[in-house]
Chains A and B, each alone.
Chain A
Amino acid sequence: MIINQKVSDILEVKFPGVVILPDEPHNDFIQIHPEKWKEIAKFIKTDSELKFDSCQCITGVDLGIEDGLEVRYNFHSMQLKHKIEIRIAVERKNPSIPSIEQVWRGANWLEREVYDMYGIRFKGHRDLRRMLLPDDWKGWPLRKDYKTPNIYNGMKIPKVRKGWD
Chain B
Amino acid sequence: MGLVHAEEMTLNIGPQHPSTHGVLRLKVKTDGEIISEITPVIGYLHRCFEKHCENLSYEQVIPFTDRCDYIAAMNNSFGYVLAVEKLMDIQVPERVEYIRVIMAEYNRIASHLLALGTFGLDVGAYTPFLYMFRDRERILDLFEITCGARLLYNYMWVGGVSHDLPLGFMEASYRFLDEFEKNINEYHNILSYNKIFIERSADVGIMPKDVAIDYGVTGPNLRGSGVKWDLRKDEPYSIYNRFKFDVPVGTGIMGSVGDCWDRYWVRAEEMQESIKIIRQALDKIPREGNVHEALPKKVRPPKGSIYFRTESPRGDLGYYIISDGTPTPLRVKMRSPAFTALSALSEIATGWMLSDVLVILGSLDIVLGEIDR
Contact B213 A133, beta carbon cutoff 8 Å: no
Asked if A134 and B43 make an inter-chain contact with CB atoms under 8 angstroms apart, the answer reads yes
Asked whether B330 is an interface residue with its Cβ less than 8 Å from the other chain, the reply is yes
- The 0/1 profile, CB within 8 Å of B marked 1, for residues 128-139 of chain A is 001111100000
User: Number of contacts between A and B (CB, 8 Å)?
Assistant: 80
Bound complex: CA of A60 vs CA of B331, how far in Å?
A: 9
Does residue B126 face the partner (Cβ distance < 8 Å to A)?
A: no
How extensive is the interface on chain A, given as a class?
A: 20 to 34
A43 in the interface, Cβ–Cβ < 8 Å?
no
State whether the Cβ of B247 lies closer than 8 Å to any Cβ in chain A.
no
Are B48 and A104 neighbours in the complex by a CB distance under 8 Å? no
Partner of B216, one of A54, A60, A62, A85: A54
A residues 59-105 touching B (CB-CB < 8 Å): 59-63, 72, 74, 78, 81, 85, 104-105
Tell me if A56 counts as interface (CB < 8 A to partner B): yes
In the assembled complex, the Cα of A72 lies from the Cα of B51 at a distance in Å of 18
| Contact flag A132-B343 (CB < 8 Å), given A56-B316, A106-B215 | no
> Nearest chain A CB to B226's CB is how many angstroms away?
12
Interface size class of B (residues with CB under 8 A): 35 or more
A142 interfacial by beta-carbon distance below 8 Å: yes
Q: How far is the CB of A63 from chain B (nearest CB, A)?
A: 7
- The smallest beta-carbon distance between A8 and chain B, in angstroms, is 18
Q: B335 and A57: CB pair below 8 A?
A: yes
A34 within 8 A of B: no
The residue on A at minimum CB distance from B222 is A78
Question: Footprint of A on B, CB under 8 Å?
Answer: 42-43, 46, 48, 50-51, 54, 211, 213-217, 227, 229, 234, 304-305, 307, 309, 316, 318, 320, 322, 330-331, 333, 335, 339-340, 342-344, 347, 372-373
In the complex, besides A104-B216, A131-B43, A134-B43, 13 extra interface pairs with C-beta distance below 8 angstroms are A53-B213, A56-B216, A61-B331, A63-B330, A78-B227, A104-B214, A106-B340, A108-B343, A109-B339, A109-B342, A110-B216, A133-B43, A142-B50
